[in-house]
Structure 1
Amino acid sequence: MDTSNRPSPLPSLFLSHGSPMTALEGHETGQFWRQLGASLDANYGRPRAIVVVSAHTSARQPLLLAAARHEAIYDFGGFDPRLYELRYDAPGAPALAQEIHGLAAAAGLNLQVLPQGGLDHGIWVPLRSLYPEADIPVLPLAFVASQSPAQQFALGAALRSLSEQGVLIIGSGSLTHNLSLLFSSGQMPAYDAPELPTSAEFRTWWSQRSTALDWPALLDYRQRAPHAVAMHPSDEHLLPWYVAAGAGGREHAPQRIHSALSYGCLAMDAYAFGPQAEALAARLAPP
């Protein structure tokens, strides 16, 4: 692909995707996703393809779902019936999958390629707002949920060169994710319920350590972050952050580009990584 006219490398992203209901209700995060998609197009050019690591697509070893086409997967139950009528039929990226297989092999990583498809809600819910036309090829990358943050970072680092070739790398999960807290009072809290102090402390710590480029603390967050285990009893929803961070590189401070909360404890924060992260954060900052 000719990238000579591309303004600059794309930043990699981490998006907290929240409840599937975000696809219907939107709230401030849906509005942010639309703004983010428009800003990426205007300042970095239309992506050639999108590689997404979602908390809801994991495997025993890293693998790429390299189908020629994808459809939305409704990997949830008990929600508004209208959700099951929403579609996101996007092209796949089998050729890019082979390219990434080579990059991973060069980095000493065993990354499998399967001719299968499907986009879980951690992928299609934000993409419906970012790129509603569903015209950009999507390549899901299944990660290994039992691997460490450092291993996830190394997986992302193997993909770093893709940002200079017009490939947008997204990690989709949640900066905080303890669903039992949602029902600790016996009923679901309001969407705009006040934030729990434990959630606020964790989110603030994460933003501060990111700005400070404190990779040792971030990579060892379960020992160093306040209330880490309470915010992530299991950390599959946070691990995609490290893949996106690895694609951005250690030398650039991760930038929080969106700060929001749902139900008092489910973070909707978004981060950008790489040499363009700071500029993107400035463009997206409220006036």
Structure 2
Amino acid sequence: MTSPSRIPTLFLSHGAPTLPIDPSLPSGGFATLSAELPRPESILMLSAHWGTQQPVVSTATRPETIHDFYGFPRALYEIQYPAPGAPDTARRAAALLGEQGIATGSEPYGLDHGAWVPMLLMFPEADVPVAQLSIQPRADAAHHFAIGRALRALRDDGVMVIGSGQITHNLRAADFSARPEDADPRVAEFTDWFEDRLRARDVDALLDYRRRAPYAQLMHPTDEHLLPVFAALGAADDDYALTVQSLGTYQRALAMTNYVFGPATA
């Protein structure tokens, strides 16, 4: 049974770190998305930029803003996102994972740019508590789907589980002078396949995307930027209603597509 009070889960394509300061990038879409969603009590964020061997939750009460990138404009390094931490949410997540036999560590980790960039755009007042849960870059999609399944009960308490990565992520194929209309057509083939399988709730195909999706190896030479979507999918209800926010493709190869896994519609 689907609980009508359950909050949606999200997957966000967080884009380049410059998303908040570059007017050519679709930062406004994140505020639009936030306005359409119920306000969470707290957020559990799985970012592509925090990878560990086993799951680790961040228990920081005042997470620092981590500027985990190099060579960008000075203004970007001056941004602070002083959201409160959510240590109780982190500990509850660790307990739920433990119930499923998934050993989970803890540490007072801050907010890397995969977390604070979309949070800044969605909740600019920095008034929603947020904790992070690491991904495991050497583990597969099924592992992250299982993590999401274990976390599903968090949503009954108003916790929004968010996976933050990128629906396509091949920086070697990127052209940072390209216009949105210059997008590699293979990007659309991959994202169309992924969206079709999400709409069909074809979990088996999605977990096997590297063999089944067109141009999967090209779109994701490594998995880490797609793995968070499987956690968000796992935490969603079996009969989720999918909302797709497509914000275009930038730098020729980086699609900015966000997914909301909401309660089933009547």
Q: Does 1:256 align with 2:248?
A: no
Q: 1:131 to 1:26 in 2, by over 3 A?
A: farther
Task: Give the structure 1 partner of residue 177 of structure 2.
Answer: 189
The normalised TM-score by structure 1 is: 0.87
TM alignment of 1:201-240, pairs within 5 A: 201-240=189-228
Pick from 58, 71, 74 the counterpart of residue 81 of structure 1.
74
Residue 33 of structure 1 contacts residue 126 of structure 1 at CA under 8 Å; is this kept in 2? yes
Task: Give the structure 1 partner of residue 51 of structure 2.
Answer: 58
Report the Cα distance in structure 2 between the residues aligned to 1:121 and 1:86, rounded to whole angstroms: 11
Structure 2 runs not aligned, ≥5 long: none
TM alignment of 1:1-287, pairs within 5 A: 8-27=5-24, 29-40=26-37, 44=38, 46-114=39-107, 116-183=108-175, 188-252=176-240, 254-275=242-263
Q: Deviations over 1:80-108 (max 9, x none)?
A: 11101111011111222222222111122
Pairwise CA distance, 1:274: 4.0
Report the Cα distance in structure 2 between the residues aligned to 1:235 and 1:122, rounded to whole angstroms: 15
Pairwise CA distance, 1:253: 5.3
Residue 210 of structure 1 contacts residue 255 of structure 1 at CA under 8 Å; is this kept in 2? no
The normalised TM-score by structure 2 is: 0.93
Pairwise CA distance, 1:178: 0.3
Residue 70 of structure 1 contacts residue 90 of structure 1 at CA under 8 Å; is this kept in 2? yes
Structure 1 runs not aligned, ≥5 long: 1-5, 280-287
SS of 1:90 mapped into structure 2: coil
Pairwise CA distance, 1:204: 0.8
Report the Cα distance in structure 1 between the residues aligned to 2:16 and 2:82, rounded to whole angstroms: 20
Report the Cα distance in structure 1 between the residues aligned to 2:11 and 2:191, rounded to whole angstroms: 14
Pairwise CA distance, 1:251: 3.3
Report the Cα distance in structure 2 between the residues aligned to 1:121 and 1:258, rounded to whole angstroms: 21
Report the Cα distance in structure 1 between the residues aligned to 2:162 and 2:103, rounded to whole angstroms: 20
With 238-247 and 75-84 compared, the bigger mean Cα shift is at: 75-84
Q: 1:7 to 1:242 in 2, by over 3 A?
A: closer
Pairwise CA distance, 1:27: 4.7
Structure in which a larger fraction of residues adopt helix: 1
The aligned length equals: 264
SS of 1:229 mapped into structure 2: helix
Pairwise CA distance, 1:191: 4.2
Pairwise CA distance, 1:254: 3.9
Task: Give the structure 2 partner of residue 282 of structure 1.
Answer: none
Report the Cα distance in structure 1 between the residues aligned to 2:208 and 2:23, rounded to whole angstroms: 33
Residue 212 of structure 1 contacts residue 253 of structure 1 at CA under 8 Å; is this kept in 2? no
Report the Cα distance in structure 2 between the residues aligned to 1:28 and 1:80, rounded to whole angstroms: 15
Report the Cα distance in structure 1 between the residues aligned to 2:35 and 2:241, rounded to whole angstroms: 23
Q: Deviations over 1:165-192 (max 9, x none)?
A: 1111100000000000114xxxx33342
Quote the sequence identity (%): 43
Report the Cα distance in structure 1 between the residues aligned to 2:196 and 2:259, rounded to whole angstroms: 13
Report the Cα distance in structure 2 between the residues aligned to 1:63 and 1:16, rounded to whole angstroms: 22
SS of 1:147 mapped into structure 2: coil
Report the Cα distance in structure 1 between the residues aligned to 2:140 and 2:242, rounded to whole angstroms: 19
Q: 1:102 to 1:119 in 2, by over 3 A?
A: same
Residue 89 of structure 1 contacts residue 134 of structure 1 at CA under 8 Å; is this kept in 2? yes
Report the Cα distance in structure 2 between the residues aligned to 1:218 and 1:272, rounded to whole angstroms: 16
Report the Cα distance in structure 2 between the residues aligned to 1:10 and 1:29, rounded to whole angstroms: 25
Report the Cα distance in structure 2 between the residues aligned to 1:208 and 1:103, rounded to whole angstroms: 31
